[in-house]
Structure 1
Amino acid sequence: MRAAVFVFKRFCGSSFRLQNRGVCDVAVVGGGIVGLSSARELIIRHPNLSFTLLEKENELALHQSGHNSGVIHSGIYYTPGSLKAQLCVKGASLAYKYCDDKGIPYKRCGKLIVAVEREEISRLKALYERGLQNNVKDLSLIDARGIREREPYCRGIMALDSPYTGIVDWCLVALTYAKDFQNAGGSIVTGFEASDISMATESPAGEPEGLKYPVIIRNTKGEEVRCRYVLTCGGLYSDRLSAISGCSTEPRIVPFRGDYLVLKPEKSYLIKGNIYPVPDPRFPFLGVHFTPRIDGSVWLGPNAVLAFKREGYNLFDFNAKDFTDALLFRGLQKLVLKNLLYGISEMYRGVFLGAQVKILQKYIPELGRSDIMRGPSGVRAQALDSGGNLVDDFVFDGGVGELGGRVLHVRNAPSPAATSSLAIAEMIADELEVRFNL
């Protein structure tokens, strides 16, 4: 194998010089926030083992971790007792502490989930009860007057107030995880797109102990890394990474693009904290909302439409394999049929901004079409089963055959994975210790 030295610079201002040594005890595939937090947790627990993190891009945290709304969620929405609920509540607490310890700026600006119609009140109260069951901190129900006190330009008849909700730059958090990992002795290799995971059939030259590193990870350039165990955190490609080690093709990842609008700077006074609608259980996503950013900007949206490429952030981004895989998947076909009108309205609002503004005006009547401009987009890795159901919790999978005891795939780490990242990392490390007897 060729030795390689990789240099990369991230837009957040961090730069690393990274060297791939070729062999390690544990390889982590995927340099997003879940892969980085897990690698960090593992090397802290097992300082005597060697770890290498492999990322296909030339930068870390480039996709979902660098294209999200930046919210620190409090854990209101999720089914009581689910992993999603437990990890979000715990993860938010750990995230605030981590940011304090590392000097990462954040703002605990709070969130209002606002009812604008009488029919939404019962759902709002049910959310409040769910949040209490999930042990979310400091929740309360407030009336129209309380809404105006918190958000002077917001109109509603009742709201769920979550002052524990905050905002942060999750890309910066992810890169800080990377620094922790590297400072603890971990190696990071960028530009390494894993294309095959297999068991070695013979010992490499100069390795007298036999097959000490029996797992081979090869990339699209023909380079390889040998290791004892593998953890994959592939995000938008998690299903394909699982498939190359012989796992089931389901759940399948279907990419949904979310397009944001941005409030013009001179109108930023309209929004103080996060403002969300009461979610409608008939539809699969939360709906458009107002999100202040740590840099002072305010994002509005997003919509949710099928992306024609797994990393397609623009309307006309297209990849034939990604598009065909999604379109032919029975699960997506069923999801589309169940939510046809919703999907059409999402596409319409993505094209005609006036339609998006009309919905936003239900909450901020003073908002006008001239107050907004098109903003960034993100792509969500939505896991679907063949029945067309959104897979709403975490999914882990192992390889088959000899690989079964050597590989662990994180096949689904749904939102709020960034908020939950430190708690997810603890859970993954626990799982690896059991499976691999580290």
Structure 2
Amino acid sequence: MTESAEVECVVVGAGAVGLAVARALARAGREVVVLERAGAIGTGISARNSEVIHGGIYYPGGSLKARLCVEGRRMLYTYLDRHGLPHRRCGKLIVANDAAQEAELTRLAERGRANGVEGLTFLTSAEARALEPALRCTSALSSPETGILDAHGFMLSLQGEIEDAGGAIALGSPLIRAEASGRGFALHVGGAAPMRLNARVLVNSAGLSAPAVAARTEGLAPEHVPQAHYAKGNYFSLTGAAPFSRLIYPIPEAAGLGVHLTLDLGGQARFGPDVEWIDPLSTDEIDYAVDARRGDGFYAAIRSYWPALPDGALQPAYAGVRPKLGGPAAASDFVISGPEAHGLAGLVNLFGIESPGLTASLAIADEVAARLSEAA
């Protein structure tokens, strides 16, 4: 027999953003349960990224990505410092190697400054090489506010705060469907102990599965459920010592930021992601294996800014998938779809929360909490 329980707020998805939303709601005194279909927190998008704290340079002015990345980055550094969590404000260089790329670098700097990104400075080739002797470029844009963090440590801290505030994480608990009514939502939850939850507030932060979760919300009009597009990004790790102390990024490319060099907190270098559009039947069918042959294309891209990359130095590492709301030819913003958009009181759907979602997570959480408070 399926049990039934009452709860004020349910958040679907225990990635960085879902946990941040649940923390914000719990700290505001609301009763919160997080439903996570996997057996642990942070096993989806949040476990398969570069763990970069983004400055906020790339995103169009006035977009949610621009505003929430800059706000979220500031909040994230404060949070990590306050909680003593591992991170490093290592900075990054975006590099140009011809006149066309230098013009794009100027546009990026103008956009970043308009977005409120602090400390952006142009470097000549000699100045950049003084910082990073292995680098080749004609000029570079320095972003000192870019950094790296331990994403899982951050999520564990969020989980602890949720639980300290009286919230709960229900692992192995997929949301099968939701039924909207005037009093909230009847949530049918699967797993080893299926149950029904009656909630006044429902936040869909299911990442790659967010459109599918929305489609299973009875009462939500189909026009408020976007089509999902998936961009797989493959990463390769470097055998041997990292040649750089900062992150190195080329000029952005379509649907991504180019094959860039990032560092983990142990100093290991990795390169990626590339962009591989995939069309799985469902998110459960996604193949995260990295095809070693894709590394062939990495060498030329990396040698444009690190000519000394040795042959055979790259090894397949891991892959992630970004939820895109537009296909290969379209750029897309974060979408926070609340009652003002779809008319269902208490429902917030988060769509297209890809990079810089980890950086922006605390600001996204405050945005969701504010919209729910305004609608109450």
Assess same fold via TM > 0.5.
yes
Give deviations 1:337-390, integer Å, cap 9, x for gaps.
xxxxxxxxxxxx9624233112101111110122221111111111127x9633
**Which of 117, 128, 140 is residue 147 of structure 1 equivalent to?**
128
| Cross-structure match for 2:233 | 258
1:390 equivalent in structure 2: 331
Letter matched to residue 274 of structure 1: L
Code of the residue aligned with 1:38 in structure 2: it is V
Read off the aligned partner of 1:243 and give its amino acid letter: A
* 2:320 match: 378
**Contact residue 247 and residue 398 of structure 1 kept, 8 A:** no
The farther-off stretch of 219-228 and 116-125 is 219-228
Find the aligned partners of 2:276 and 2:252 in 1 and give their Cα distance: 17
Larger mean CA deviation between 25-34 and 353-362 belongs to 353-362
TM-score when normalising by structure 1: 0.79
Q: Which amino acid aligns with 1:428?
A: V
Paired position in structure 1 for 2:26: 43
Partner of 2:203: helix, strand, or coil?
Answer: strand
RMSD: 2.3
Cα offsets for 1:82-123 (capped at 9, x unmatched): 221111111111111100111101111111000012221111
Query: Are 1:242 and 1:411, in contact at CA under 8 Å, matched by a contact in 2?
Result: no
Distance in 2, Cα, partners of 1:399 & 1:57 = 31
Alignment partner of 1:161: what SS? strand
Q: Which amino acid aligns with 1:220?
A: G
Question: Partners in 2 of 1:134 and 1:364 — Cα distance?
Answer: 30
How far has the Cα of 1:394 moved from its partner? 2.5
- Give distance in 2, aligned partners of 1:307 and 1:399: 32
Question: Is 1:412 matched with 2:352?
Answer: yes
Deviation sequence 1:196-252 (CA, Å, 0-9, x none): 10147xxxxxxxxxx9x7521112354221222211111101111111123336421
Confirm or deny that 1:25 pairs with 2:8: yes
Q: Does 1:369 align with 2:284?
A: no
* Cα distance in 2 between the residues matched to 1:190 and 1:216: 19
Give the partner amino acid of 1:396.
Answer: S
- TM-score, length basis structure 2: 0.91
The one-letter code of the counterpart of 1:298 is: A
Q: 2:186 aligns with which of 216, 220, 225?
A: 216
1:133-162 C-alpha deviation (Å, 9 max, x unpaired) = 111111100000111122110110000000
Q: Which residue is 2:206 aligned to?
A: 234
Match of 1:164 in 2: 145
Aligned to 2:222: 248
Cα distance in 2 for partners of 1:72, 1:122 equals: 25
Aligned equivalents of 1:134, 1:214: Cα separation in 2: 37
Cα distance in 2 for partners of 1:167, 1:70 equals 6
Change (3 A) 1:304 1:350: farther
Answer yes or no: is the 8 Å Cα contact 2:5–2:197 preserved in 1. Answer: yes
Name the amino acid aligned to 2:245.
K
Q: Determine the structure 2 residue equivalent to 1:104.
A: 85
Is the aligned partner of 1:173 residue 2:154? yes
| Gap runs ≥5 in structure 2 | none
Deviation at 1:400, TM superposition (A): 10
Equivalence for 1:323: none
Larger Rg: 1
Moved over 3 A (4+): 397-401
Q: Residues 214 and 405 (structure 1 numbering): CA distance in 2 closer, same or farther, change over 3 Å?
A: closer
- 1:287 counterpart SS class: coil
> What one-letter code is carried by the residue in structure 1 that aligns with 2:303?
Q
Q: CA deviation at 1:27?
A: 0.9
- The whole-number CA distance in structure 2 between the counterparts of 1:169 and 1:142 is 29
Judge conservation of contact 1:397–1:409 (CA < 8 Å) in 2: yes
1:5-404 map, 5 Å: 22-45=5-28, 47=29, 49-199=30-180, 214-221=184-191, 222-245=194-217, 246-248=220-222, 250-264=225-239, 266-268=240-242, 270-280=243-253, 283-309=254-280, 310=283, 312-315=286-289, 351-384=293-326, 389-398=330-339, 404=344
Q: Does the 8 Å contact 1:313/1:378 carry over to 2?
A: no
Contact 1:307–1:379 at 8 Å: present in 2 too?
no
Q: 1:308 to 1:147 in 2, by over 3 A?
A: same
Aligned-residue offset at 1:56: 0.7
C-alpha change, 1:355 and 1:28, in structure 2 (3 Å) is: closer
- Residue 284 of structure 1 aligns to a residue in which SS? coil
Identity %: 29
Amino acid in structure 2 at the alignment position of 1:22: A
The code of the aligned residue for 1:259 comes to N
1:110–1:161 Cα contact (<8 Å) kept: yes
CA distance in 1, matches of 2:216, 2:340: 9
Q: Alignment length, in residue pairs? A: 368
Select between 241-250 and 159-168 the one with higher mean Cα deviation: 241-250
What is the letter of the counterpart of residue 355 of structure 1? G
Contact 1:354–1:369 at 8 Å: present in 2 too? no
